[in-house]
A and B are shown apart, each in its own frame.
Chain A
Amino acid sequence: MLASHGPGVAFIFKKALISALVALVLFSLMIGIRTEAGPTGQLIYWTRFGDLAAMVATVFGGSIAMELLRQWWGPVGTIKVIPPSVQSGLAVARRAIAPVLLIFTFLVPVIFYNQRYILDLGILVLTYVMLGWGLNVVVGLAGLLDLGYVAFYAVGAYSYALLATNFGLSFWVCLPLAGILAACWGVMLGFPVLRLRGDYLAIVTLAFGEIIRLVIINWQSLTGGPNGVSGIPRPTLFGIALAPGPDGLAARLGIEFSPTHRIVFLFYLILALALLTNWVTIRLRRLPIGRAWEALREDEVACRALGINTTTTKLTAFATGAMFGGFAGAFFATRQGFISPESFTFQESALVLAIVVLGGMGSQLGVALAALTMIGGFELFRGLEQYRMLVFGLAMVLLMIWRPRGLIGHRAPTVFLRHSQAISSELAREGRG
């Protein structure tokens, strides 16, 4: 093995062989043997060794290709493959991404007015953008790993659903209440976990998410248990319902009623909520509390030496993140009209956390792009049917190899003296608690 030429042929083959072996073990049961229930209920199985061989060969070849590619590319960060002129062009493009994306989002309901599927997908993506931005406060800024974020989403959703169905309160009254209630739960979670760091914090927050779900399932008299809450009122435009009939918005404006009006309204509603989240987060970052969150992520001991109350700083991060989760939950309830505990599983927490990590911890634009990639991309691969998860997983792995620090791998300073220059995420710490 010559150091100057990187690993030799033997090394590449050895690596490829090991990868192929792992693939063989993994896929022998997943692909090699296919089982199915027969016509009379018995289990029948048949072998697919051809497919298995093809899969293992692909892994073997792919491993060699990857290693060769890595050698051709050279050590990461030492060789600039892209010429400076292209880089400056990319920098301009990067600055333009956010405004272009925002304008496009505003125009989505106009462009795709007749495509209900796109509008629904847009609402879904925006919901996750909002959740991602909310969780970003906790994970990205304060560096507190929260695996139970869905709990606040659930608290927000059930707050609105129960207040609206039991007391007949309108969406606009319930929205702040849902946020406040979720924030209270955030503080309640925050108190016991303040001493915990890293993995321990992650496990406790994970448990908290599950506890909330189990309470909702079992507290039948209040929440309806597994049956959920149905008949949740649709949102109104300051008291004017978006429904057919003489009191509806369409009738008042003198236009023909269409169910799309409500979808478009919901789209702009979640867009407004998401942008509110974004605006508040950007403002908070430039305030002492936001800087304290980031300082906490960087070095908690130094924070204490500077007289920063780490307890309240952590609690405010939890409460702020939870509040946005609560808003998103209230929106979810009003959009669906029906909620049940099934919507608030760990899967959701994991998805939102994946969006934050993929986006680049702490980056607002990164989170938006990641939500678009994760939710939109997942829909994009729908045509691949059973291979959807496989292709999606592969795409994620490649993305994390290409950009280990997330899509946006740098943080923008909150204050500057002469010129703001982006700081590489290599320097920023991820936080340990």
Chain B
Amino acid sequence: MSSDSILAVDHLSMRFGGIVAVNDLSFAAERGKITALIGPNGAGKTTVFNCITGFYRRTSGTMRLTHDDGRAIQLERLNDFRISKQARVARTFQNIRLFPGMTALENLMVAQHNALMRASGLTFIGLIGAPSWRAAEKRAIDRATLWLDRIGLVDRADDAAGNLPYGDQRRLEIARAMCTEPALLCLDEPAAGLNARESAGLSELLLSIRADHGTSILLIEHDMSVVMEISDHVVVMDYGVKIAEGTPQQIRDDPKVIAAYLGVEDNEVAAVESELGL
């Protein structure tokens, strides 16, 4: 495990009653890199995400987040909103969770809640309309506009989020997560339901986020074109355990991964490999 990992997941297990969704999983996400978590349906990827982002309480194991300044936070000790507020881990959802009745701009303003709450003096300074609050609000709008511009939605800033096309909603959710100024961005299947052109645009957006902000990204994805193109490191899960990890090229050639995706027994792997010409 690299010493410069932003997130170190160590022996993480999650049980629901008798079902072991995640079993003794260890991996690390490197700082300023894109780490992909892949695996067949039901492998436990989203469960890992929910543990990291505090929506589930892990059964055992540790998750250590190390900030740029060396400050380390044990994520399993924080719960729900504190993960985002204190540890600065942002996430998106597999099924989009925007605020549909609010405009795209409002969605991005809500994401800056904690910063704006401080600026508004816990509402009291804001209520009297103090200049410091107005300036802070303007900065927040500017930041939101910047992100709308980056995802190409500045023209639809005042449209209800629920009225936007599906692909735009996906990008808006990523922009909303980025407005919380996260150290680690967790994306749950950001390319799901996107066409090839939109997927390519998404890859570009994620690469630019990594390049411009140095934000580390952890993503779950089924779209292998996206995973292979942008990931620096890939972790493969199946039935709640890690079966492989490495660079995209290594993963592509790993017989265990092929077996997991094609669904063959271990003793048949050799046969499948020869069939595929590996």
Q: Name A residues whose Cβ lies closer than 8 Å to a Cβ of B.
A: 280, 283-284, 287-289, 291-292, 294-295, 298-299, 301-310, 316, 411, 413-421, 423-425, 427-429
CB neighbours (8 Å) of A287 from chain B are: 116, 120, 123, 126-127
Q: Given A280-B127, A289-B117, is A419 in contact with B102 using a C-beta cutoff of 8 Å?
A: no
Q: Given A288-B113, A298-B100, A416-B105, is A309 in contact with B81 using a C-beta cutoff of 8 Å?
A: yes
Residue contact A307 to B160, C-beta cutoff 8 Å:
no
Say if the beta carbon of B33 comes within 8 Å of chain A. Answer: no
Q: How far is the CA of A288 from the CA of B120 in the complex (A)?
A: 8
Q: How far is the CA of A129 from the CA of B7 in the complex (A)?
A: 53
Interface residues of B in 76-130 (CB under 8 A from A): 80-85, 90-91, 93, 97-103, 105-106, 109-114, 116-117, 120, 123, 126-127, 129
Pairs A-B, 8 closest by C-beta atoms:
A428-B101, A307-B84, A307-B85, A298-B99, A288-B116, A417-B157, A427-B162, A302-B97
Residue contact B102 to A294, C-beta cutoff 8 Å:
yes
CB B191 to nearest CB in A, in angstroms, measures 19
Residue contact A295 to B158, C-beta cutoff 8 Å:
no
In the complex, residue of chain A having the shortest beta-carbon distance to the beta carbon of B163? A427
CB neighbours (8 Å) of A417 from chain B are: 105, 141, 145, 148, 154, 157-158
Q: How far is the CA of A53 from the CA of B84 in the complex (A)?
A: 66
Instruction: Specify which of A295, A304, A418 is in contact with B80 (CB 8 Å cutoff).
Output: A304
Residue contact A429 to B81, C-beta cutoff 8 Å:
no
CB B98 to nearest CB in A, in angstroms, measures 7
Say if the beta carbon of B24 comes within 8 Å of chain A. Answer: no
Q: How far is the CA of A416 from the CA of B108 in the complex (A)?
A: 12
CB neighbours (8 Å) of A289 from chain B are: 117, 120, 123
CB B70 to nearest CB in A, in angstroms, measures 22
CB B53 to nearest CB in A, in angstroms, measures 7
Say if the beta carbon of B170 comes within 8 Å of chain A. Answer: no
Q: How far is the CA of A340 from the CA of B82 in the complex (A)?
A: 46
CB neighbours (8 Å) of A280 from chain B are: 127
CB B122 to nearest CB in A, in angstroms, measures 8
CB neighbours (8 Å) of A427 from chain B are: 100-101, 160, 162-163
Sample of 19 more A-B contacts, CB < 8 Å, known A294-B106, A301-B55, A419-B158 = A284-B123, A288-B116, A291-B113, A292-B110, A294-B101, A295-B99, A304-B54, A304-B81, A306-B110, A316-B123, A413-B158, A414-B106, A415-B103, A417-B148, A418-B158, A423-B160, A427-B163, A428-B101, A428-B102
Residue contact B101 to A298, C-beta cutoff 8 Å:
yes
Residue contact A413 to B106, C-beta cutoff 8 Å:
yes
CB A174 to nearest CB in B, in angstroms, measures 23
CB neighbours (8 Å) of A284 from chain B are: 123, 127
Say if the beta carbon of B180 comes within 8 Å of chain A. Answer: yes
Residue contact A429 to B127, C-beta cutoff 8 Å:
no
Instruction: Specify which of A306, A310, A415, A429 is in contact with B100 (CB 8 Å cutoff).
Output: A429
Instruction: Specify which of A301, A308, A418 is in contact with B113 (CB 8 Å cutoff).
Output: A308
In the complex, residue of chain A having the shortest beta-carbon distance to the beta carbon of B115? A288
Residue contact B84 to A305, C-beta cutoff 8 Å:
yes
Q: How far is the CA of A316 from the CA of B123 in the complex (A)?
A: 11
Q: Given A288-B117, A304-B80, is A424 in contact with B160 using a C-beta cutoff of 8 Å?
A: yes
Say if the beta carbon of B176 comes within 8 Å of chain A. Answer: yes
In the complex, residue of chain B having the shortest beta-carbon distance to the beta carbon of A299? B97
Instruction: Specify which of A291, A298, A420, A429 is in contact with B109 (CB 8 Å cutoff).
Output: A291
Q: Given A298-B101, A423-B101, A423-B103, is A415 in contact with B109 using a C-beta cutoff of 8 Å?
A: yes
Residue contact B157 to A418, C-beta cutoff 8 Å:
yes
Say if the beta carbon of B245 comes within 8 Å of chain A. Answer: no
Say if the beta carbon of B159 comes within 8 Å of chain A. Answer: yes
CB neighbours (8 Å) of A304 from chain B are: 54-55, 80-81, 84
In the complex, residue of chain B having the shortest beta-carbon distance to the beta carbon of A423? B160
Residue contact B93 to A416, C-beta cutoff 8 Å:
no
CB B29 to nearest CB in A, in angstroms, measures 18
Q: How far is the CA of A298 from the CA of B93 in the complex (A)?
A: 15
Q: How far is the CA of A292 from the CA of B110 in the complex (A)?
A: 6
23 contacts between A and B (CB under 8 A): A280-B127, A288-B109, A288-B113, A288-B116, A289-B117, A298-B100, A299-B98, A299-B99, A301-B55, A302-B93, A302-B98, A304-B84, A305-B177, A306-B81, A306-B90, A306-B180, A307-B83, A308-B110, A415-B106, A416-B157, A417-B154, A419-B158, A429-B100
CB A410 to nearest CB in B, in angstroms, measures 10
In the complex, residue of chain A having the shortest beta-carbon distance to the beta carbon of B85? A307
Q: How far is the CA of A298 from the CA of B102 in the complex (A)?
A: 8
CB neighbours (8 Å) of A308 from chain B are: 81, 110, 113-114
Q: How far is the CA of A316 from the CA of B113 in the complex (A)?
A: 15
CB B245 to nearest CB in A, in angstroms, measures 26
CB B214 to nearest CB in A, in angstroms, measures 20
Q: How far is the CA of A294 from the CA of B160 in the complex (A)?
A: 13
Q: Given A298-B99, A301-B97, A414-B106, is A306 in contact with B176 using a C-beta cutoff of 8 Å?
A: yes
Interface residues of B in 145-172 (CB under 8 A from A): 145, 148, 154, 157-160, 162-163
